[in-house]
Every structure is written in structure tokens, then in C-alpha cells.
């Protein structure tokens, strides 16, 4: 309106993006609180969505509130109550809500206090309830706690938006119909119930390993894990998962070269590693070691902490890594762990003993099994077999990034 | 409170190791004890064990004509062998009872919420 077009568009874009970011960071806690207050996921989601539209209109004019999380919760709660008031059939529900101490129908006098952190914790256990499918757990967590739109969740997992919308509707229907509770499990159930929560968080992190939007997913996973870790300081595995993500994230800047090709850990420019993330991860690992209650995530974090310790690849304490993998293999005896252990053995004892370990593994359909064999065969100068193994790995590669990397290895080997 | 169906499925033709008299007695006692626990906890609504699926009969209207046929409706190999109807505050409580039942009978249990049967 009278302003120059380009300047106007610019200002708006920055402001709207900033509001969007704030909402993504804050909306999960607001949704969690409103689910507790209203006992209904849909009402909570709609109300927070409405608060977002109000914010888009008002924040650019009035400025960002001092406590955006509190503002969102208060506004969304007001909107939800307004809406329930309009719908007379919900009169009874309304009475229970306004009677409850958490409701503050007058936002003018109510302080903009943040929601109880317990609400987020309750919600993550609802989203990751074992009665829901793994796909539904991930989708619900990203949608409700991560504040991602249905379209964003769909794109992250390469499914059509309609499919994802249906998945979310079905999951929410099951929560309501089956009576999946909205609370933190009892202490005796906690170990089994925490497991899917951690695997969902790690899955979200790994879903961000490749592809566009990956950085958002990774930072979302780290943010949520940080929140869970802060709320459950007594659970070492939560801390272990956070440390693992931080240590992997620290190496991210060196993971791809300028041409976008994958760079193996041993070949990475360690000067590019993010020191502050690595140090934070290492500090958590040290604290976990002192408590001495190891679990799979803590051990994986410890392995990555050893890598972070080495200022150059040659300085890596591979004996320590073999020992940690042996410990991991004892509590998580999977062929993938055994494969990783064999790679470490190859660095300590040489390629021949490692190859013997690898060959015994039932991983014929896994590209990294063949890639590992190929690398060991190359070191043993069994070039023809190495070429065959790389070829097999290329065929099985799950992504373009992996395929490109393996093709480069194959080409280099053929040249030599 | 929600009502849940805990159904026990049996697979036709699946041969079980025959139980000895003592084992049968022990299993029955455990189930009796569990049902008493359910009743004492206010969870038990109804329960029953069904005869083999070949004792079932299907009744339906086909083009306005009432048809009665032998056999179960579903042609699958798996059939419901027995069930509990329980009342529980939420799914976790229902799953807790299901865990106890499956431990007694050594067969998987399916937990289904009833629609429109809930009361406070």
C-alpha cells in the first residue's frame, strides 16, 4: 500500500518466515498442553493453527511477543473455547474445561506462562505408543510435536500428501477409539515404552541424512531429543541418543565435497567438523560413562566420540572402537553391528581377519556388506573380486548419493 | 471407561502338543484365578470359550430369501476361539489384562475397542 513492491515483499517474507520458524519451535508444546486441557487432538491442532493465522496478522504489526510459546498457548486456548462456545452440543465439555484450574478464560489477566513441559512428554509417549504403526508414530511426532505441516511430513517420507493425511487421520482415530492414554508411562513400563520414542527420534534424524529438507528434519530430531533428555535426566539412553545425534551432526559439514559427493569418514577434512557440537556430544558421553549403565545409543555415541577425538584419521583409537563394538554386539547382536565391528577389526588386525568376519554375515542384500567386502578385497589386492563386490554394491545402492559414491570407487579401482 | 474385546484366535489344523491332565488342571486354575482378579478389579464384563468353527452357522438374506448355511462366515484358517469383554480406563490398562491372558493360554490376544459402548 504505497510502499515499493520489492521492499514490501522482502520485509514480509522475512517476517513470515520468522513467524513460521517460531511456530515450528513452539507449537508442539502448545499442542501438547491443549490436548491435556481439551482431551482432543483435533481441537488442539485446529486451535494452534488458528493462533498461527492470528500471529501472521498481528506479529508483523505489534511485534513478536516476549514469550511466544505462552502467547500461542493462550491465544489457541481462547480460540478453542470460542469455538466450543459456538457449538452448543459441546456445552458439557466446555463446563469441565472452564472448571479446570489450567484454563484461563481471560487472557488479559492471565500471565503468558509457558505450558508445562510434562505435556510434551505425555504427547510424545502418545505419539509413539506401540499400538500405533512405526510409520504412524513418526508422522504423528513430526506433525504434533515438530509442528510440521502434513505436506512437509509427506515430503520428508516421499509419500503423497493425501496418503500422509490419511495416515494421520487413521492414527488419530485409533488414539481416540482405542483409548491410547495421554500420560507418561509408569516407571515399570518406561524401559519398553521409551524404546519406540527413541527409535522414532533417531528415524527422524536419519530421514534427514539425504535429500532436500534434510537439515530441517535433523535439527527437529535434535531439538525434540534435547527436550526429552531435559525432561528425563535419569534416562541415560535418551542422553546417549542426543550425544549420538550431536556427534554425527558435528561431522555433517565434511560429509559431502563441494561437488556434493559423499566423503568417507577417513577421508573427511576434520577441520570442517563443528567443534562445539562435537564437544557437547563428548561431554554427554563422558557423563554417561561415569554412570556406567550402557545401552545401544550410549555405545554408538561413545564410538563416535572416539572418532571425534582423533584430529586426523590416522590418530583414531581403533582398539577402543573394536572394544565398544564388541560391547554393542553383546547387547544388540545384529548383523549390521557385526559388520561395523568387522570394519574396525580391519583397522586393528588387517583386512584378512576382517574379511573372514564379514563373509560369515547374512547380509547379501545390503549394499554396505558388498562395499565393505570390496574395500577389504582391494586392500588384499584381490582386484577382480573387489570389482565384482563393488558392482554388486552399486546394484543394491538405495540412493543416488550412495550409488554415485560406489560408482566412483569402482571407477578408481578399474583405473589402478 | 472403554469396553474392549480381547479375542483369542485359533488356527485350524494347527496341532498342539497334547497337555497332560496335570498341565490342563494347572492352566485352568490359572485362568480361573485371572478371571477372579478381573472381577475383583471391576474389569470383567463377560467371557467365553467357543466350540470349533465347524459348529458355526451363517444366516443371511440373499435377494430377499433367507439362507442358512453351515460353517463359519470367514473362510480364513484363523477363527475366534474365545474372548473376554472387559472394561478399562484406557488402552494401557486393557493391554495389561491382555498380557496376563496371553501368559495363561500361550496364544496371541487381539485387543479391540468397542464403538459406542463407552461410558464414564
DSSP secondary structure string for all residues of B19-47: PPHHHHHHHHHHHHHHHHHHHHTT-EEEE
Does the pLDDT value for residue B28 go beyond 60? yes
Which pLDDT does position A158 carry in this prediction? Answer: 78
Which pLDDT does position A86 carry in this prediction? Answer: 78
The answer to whether the CB atoms of B90 and A189 lie below 8 A apart is: no
Query: What is the phi-psi region of residue A179: left when phi exceeds 0, alpha when psi lies from -120 to 50, beta otherwise?
Result: left
In a domain, B64, yes or no: yes
For helices B21-40 and B91-105, angle between their N-to-C axes, nearest 10 degrees: 160
CATH of residue A40's domain is: 1.10.1740
How far does the CA of residue B110 sit from the closest CA of chain A (Å)?
Answer: 11
Residues A215 and A159 in one domain: yes
Mean pLDDT, residues B81-99 taken together? 95
Q: Chain B residues with CB inside 8 Å of A180's CB?
A: 90-92
In a domain, B77, yes or no: yes
Which pLDDT does position A12 carry in this prediction? Answer: 46
Q: Among A179, A181, A188, pick the best mutation site for testing chain B contact (most B Cβ within 10 A).
A: A179
CATH of residue B108's domain is: 3.30.70.1060
- Number of helices and strands in chain B (H, E): 2, 6
Is the confidence metric ipTM above 0.90 for this complex?
no
Residues spanned by the domain of B50: 2-11+28-113
pLDDT over 90 percentage in chain A: 57
In a domain, A132, yes or no: yes
pLDDT over 70 percentage in chain A: 88
Collapsed DSSP state (helix, strand, coil) of residue A88: helix
Percent helix, strand and coil across chain A, each to the nearest 5 = 75, 0, 25
Domain-terminating residue out of A44, A74, A105? A105
Question: Is B92 near chain A, with CB under 8 Å?
Answer: yes
Does the pLDDT value for residue A100 go beyond 80? no
Based on its alpha-carbon atoms, the radius of gyration of chain B, rounded to whole angstroms, reads 17
- Residue A89 pLDDT class (50, 70, 90 cuts): low
Which pLDDT does position A131 carry in this prediction? Answer: 94
Closest residue by Cα to residue A70 from A121, A105, A132, A112: A112
Place of cell 532436500: A212
- Residue A116 pLDDT class (50, 70, 90 cuts): very low
Question: Is B11 near chain A, with CB under 8 Å?
Answer: no
Count of alpha carbons within 13 angstroms of residue A14, beta-carbon side? 5
In a domain, A185, yes or no: yes
Q: Give backbone dihedrals phi and psi of B45, rounded to 5 degrees, phi first.
A: -115, -50
How far does the CA of residue B76 sit from the closest CA of chain A (Å)?
Answer: 24
The answer to whether the CB atoms of A179 and B88 lie below 8 A apart is: yes
Q: Chain A residues with CB inside 8 Å of B113's CB?
A: 177-179
In a domain, A302, yes or no: yes
Instruction: Indicate the helix (H) or strand (E) that contains B49.
Output: strand B44-49
How far does the CA of residue A269 sit from the closest CA of chain B (Å)?
Answer: 50
C-alpha A404/C-alpha A401 separation (Å) is 5
The answer to whether the CB atoms of B113 and A178 lie below 8 A apart is: yes
Which pLDDT does position A103 carry in this prediction? Answer: 37
Collapsed DSSP state (helix, strand, coil) of residue B87: strand
In a domain, A330, yes or no: no
Q: Chain B residues with CB inside 8 Å of A39's CB?
A: none
Collapsed DSSP state (helix, strand, coil) of residue A397: coil
In a domain, A145, yes or no: yes
Say which residues have a Cβ less than 8 Å from residue A103's Cβ, sequence separation at least 6.
A37, A77, A81, A97
The answer to whether the CB atoms of B91 and A185 lie below 8 A apart is: no
Q: Chains A and B: how many Cβ contacts under 8 Å?
A: 25
In a domain, A69, yes or no: yes
Going from the C-alpha of A72 to that of each of A19, A59, A85, the distances in angstroms are 11, 11, 20
In a domain, A414, yes or no: no
Q: Chain A residues with CB inside 8 Å of B89's CB?
A: 179, 181
* Contact predicate A370/A403, CB 8 Å: no
In a domain, B43, yes or no: yes
Instruction: Flag the least confident range among A43-52, A192-201, B29-38, B67-76.
Output: B67-76
Which pLDDT does position A140 carry in this prediction? Answer: 94
How far does the CA of residue B84 sit from the closest CA of chain A (Å)?
Answer: 16
In a domain, B80, yes or no: yes
In a domain, A151, yes or no: yes
Closest residue by Cα to residue A405 from A272, A269, A257: A257
Domain count, chain A: 3
Q: What are the pLDDT digits (tens) for A313-353?
A: 999 999 999 999 999 999 999 999 999 999 999 999 999 99
Residues A185 and A239 in one domain: no
Mean pLDDT, residues B88-116 taken together? 92
* Contact predicate A305/A244, CB 8 Å: no
Residues A59 and A122 in one domain: no
Q: What are the pLDDT digits (tens) for A40-74?
A: 899 999 999 899 888 888 888 888 888 888 999 99
* Contact predicate A237/A297, CB 8 Å: yes
C-alpha A406/C-alpha A391 separation (Å) is 8
Please indicate whether residue A216 or residue A316 has the higher confidence score (pLDDT).
Answer: A316
Question: Is B5 near chain A, with CB under 8 Å?
Answer: no
C-alpha A293/C-alpha A297 separation (Å) is 11
Residues A224 and A291 in one domain: no
- For chain B, what's the residue count? 120
* Contact predicate A387/A352, CB 8 Å: no
How far does the CA of residue B100 sit from the closest CA of chain A (Å)?
Answer: 15
Question: Is B110 near chain A, with CB under 8 Å?
Answer: no
Question: Is B117 near chain A, with CB under 8 Å?
Answer: no
Taking CA atoms, what residue in A is nearest to B115? A177
Domain count, chain B: 1
Q: Which residues of A touch B (CB under 8 A)?
A: 129, 131, 177-181, 185, 189
The answer to whether the CB atoms of A179 and B2 lie below 8 A apart is: yes
C-alpha A3/C-alpha A9 separation (Å) is 10
Would you give the distance in Å from CA A121 to the centre of its chain?
15
- Check residue A145 and report its DSSP letter: I
The strand pairing partners of B49, in sequence order, are B82
Instruction: Flag the least confident range among A143-152, A209-218, B22-31, B61-70.
Output: A209-218
Going from the C-alpha of A330 to that of each of A192, A226, A295, the distances in angstroms are 19, 28, 10
Instruction: Flag the least confident range among A94-103, A198-207, A236-245, B31-40.
Output: A94-103
Residues spanned by the domain of A51: 1-105
How far does the CA of residue A145 sit from the closest CA of chain B (Å)?
Answer: 22
Question: Is B24 near chain A, with CB under 8 Å?
Answer: no
How far does the CA of residue A298 sit from the closest CA of chain B (Å)?
Answer: 29
Residues A6 and A62 in one domain: yes
Residues A310 and A222 in one domain: no
Amino acid at each position: 500500500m504505497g510502499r515499493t513492491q520489492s521492499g514490501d515483499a522482502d520485509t514480509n517474507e522475512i517476517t513470515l518466515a520468522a513467524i513460521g520458524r517460531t511456530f515450528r519451535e513452539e507449537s508442539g508444546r502448545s499442542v501438547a498442553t491443549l490436548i491435556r486441557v481439551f482431551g482432543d487432538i483435533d481441537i488442539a491442532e485446529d486451535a494452534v493453527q488458528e493462533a498461527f493465522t492470528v500471529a501472521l496478522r498481528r506479529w508483523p504489526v505489534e511485534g513478536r511477543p516476549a514469550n511466544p510459546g505462552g502467547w500461542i498457548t493462550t491465544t489457541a486456548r481462547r480460540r478453542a473455547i470460542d469455538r466450543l462456545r459456538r457449538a452448543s452440543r459441546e456445552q458439557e465439555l466446555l463446563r469441565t474445561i472452564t472448571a479446570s484450574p489450567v484454563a484461563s478464560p481471560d487472557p488479559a489477566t492471565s500471565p503468558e506462562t509457558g505450558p508445562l513441559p510434562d505435556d510434551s512428554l505425555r504427547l510424545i509417549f502418545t505419539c509413539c505408543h506401540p499400538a500405533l504403526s512405526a510409520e504412524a508414530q513418526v508422522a504423528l511426532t513430526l506433525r504434533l510435536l515438530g509442528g510440521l505441516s502434513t505436506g512437509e511430513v509427506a515430503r520428508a517420507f516421499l509419500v503423497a500428501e493425501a496418503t500422509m493425511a490419511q495416515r494421520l487421520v487413521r492414527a488419530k482415530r485409533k488414539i481416540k477409539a482405542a483409548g491410547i492414554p495421554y500420560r507418561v508411562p509408569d516407571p515399570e513400563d518406561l524401559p519398553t515404552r521409551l524404546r519406540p520414542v527413541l527409535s522414532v527420534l533417531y528415524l527422524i534424524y536419519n530421514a534427514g541424512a539425504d535429500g532436500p529438507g534434510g537439515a530441517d528434519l535433523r535439527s527437529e530430531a535434535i531439538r525434540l531429543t534435547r527436550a526429552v533428555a531435559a525432561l528425563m535426566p535419569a534416562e541415560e539412553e535418551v542422553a546417549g541418543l542426543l550425544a549420538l545425534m550431536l556427534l554425527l551432526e558435528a561431522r555433517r559439514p565434511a560429509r559431502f565435497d563441494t561437488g556434493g559427493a559423499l566423503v568417507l569418514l577417513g577421508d573427511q577434512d576434520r577441520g570442517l567438523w563443528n567443534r562445539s557440537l562435537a564437544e557437547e556430544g563428548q561431554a554427554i558421553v563422558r557423563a554417561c560413562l561415569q554412570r556406567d549403565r550402557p545401552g545401544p545409543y550410549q555405545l554408538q555415541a561413545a564410538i563416535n566420540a572416539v572418532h571425534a577425538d582423533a584430529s586426523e584419521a590416522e590418530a583414531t583409537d581403533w582398539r577402543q572402537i573394536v572394544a565398544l563394538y564388541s560391547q554393542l554386539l553383546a547387547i544388540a547382536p545384529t548383523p549390521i553391528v557385526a559388520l561395523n565391528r568387522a570394519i574396525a577389526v580391519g583397522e586393528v588386525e588387517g583386512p584378512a581377519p576382517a574379511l573372514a568376519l564379514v563373509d560369515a554375515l547374512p547380509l547379501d542384500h545390503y549394499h554396505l556388506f558388498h562395499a565393505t567386502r570390496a574395500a577389504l578385497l582391494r586392500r588384499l589386492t584381490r582386484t577382480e573380486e573387489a570389482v565384482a563386490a563393488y558392482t554388486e554394491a552399486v546394484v543394491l545402492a538405495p540412493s543416488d548419493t550412495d550409488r554415485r559414491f560406489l560408482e566412483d570407487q569402482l571407477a578408481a579401482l578399474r583405473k589402478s | 471407561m472403554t469396553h474392549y474385546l480381547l479375542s483369542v484366535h485359533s488356527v485350524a489344523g494347527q496341532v498342539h502338543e497334547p497337555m497332560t491332565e496335570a498341565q490342563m488342571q494347572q492352566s485352568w486354575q490359572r485362568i480361573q484365578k485371572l478371571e477372579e482378579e478381573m472381577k475383583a478389579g471391576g474389569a470383567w464384563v463377560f467371557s467365553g470359550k467357543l466350540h470349533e468353527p465347524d459348529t458355526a452357522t451363517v444366516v443371511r438374506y440373499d435377494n430377499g430369501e433367507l439362507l442358512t448355511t453351515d460353517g463359519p462366515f470367514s473362510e480364513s484358517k484363523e477363527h475366534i476361539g474365545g474372548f473376554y469383554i472387559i472394561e478399562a480406563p484406557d488402552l494401557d490398562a486393557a493391554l495389561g489384562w491382555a498380557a496376563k491372558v496371553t501368559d495363561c493360554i500361550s496364544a496371541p490376544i487381539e485387543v479391540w475397542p468397542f464403538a459406542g459402548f463407552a461410558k464414564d
